[in-house]
Amino acid sequence: MNQVDQLRITVATSSDAATVANIYAPYVRDTAITFEYDAPDAREMAARIERVGATHPWLIARDAAGAALGYAYASPYYGRAAYAWCVETSIYVDREARGSGVGTALYQELERVLTAQGILNLYACVATTSTPDTHLDNGSVTFHERRGYHEIGHFPNCGYKFGHWYDTVWMERNLGAHALPQPSVRPFSQVRTELGL
């Protein structure tokens, strides 16, 4: 069996905060994939997990031995009621596990949960550059394209990090049809139980 066949994907809790923070920290410290300058500590990460997890899925992938390999989550897209069917997705895979299929497995499970909730529009804000460097190589754009996302907006020179200006692109993937009237989004707590998460 390969690593992906043995993955166990579960809902993250605040007890996973230190592990999640450790996966995320190198992206903050060494890359322009995220525009944060300072890596959040476990306490801050726990607060983020609890905030997102109250309404939307935050998933963590572990190997057969229980080691965390990555996480993905969907956060509310702004706070207005009319945006209830939209989320912003985020994913971070341990840098040693990149390219192994962990990211794809996480996004597949995330999309399964969001589909059950009735979420329709997935948005990803992805850092990009016209001049790839040691901090950003545009691999995130390629990853999202392979997952069915397409570019819907480009913001040039909007993030300054490591003495360089980087762009962002907004990418979108639709999970379902837009109806009239549109059924309400189902609570994550209800869907989580139904899906056995």
Query: What is the reported pLDDT for 6?
Result: 84
pTM equals 0.95
Query: What is the reported pLDDT for 95?
Result: 85
Are 126 and 137 in contact, with CB atoms under 8 Å apart? no
Query: What is the reported pLDDT for 1?
Result: 41
Query: What is the reported pLDDT for 173?
Result: 98
Please, what are the averages of pLDDT over each run of 10 residues along the chain (197 residues)? 74 97 98 98 98 96 94 94 98 87 95 98 97 94 97 98 97 97 96 93
- Helix (H/G/I), strand (E/B), else coil: 175: coil
How far is Cα 83 from Cα 100, in angstroms, rounded to an integer?
34
Cis peptide before 181 (omega within 30 of 0): yes
Are 25 and 37 in contact, with CB atoms under 8 Å apart? no
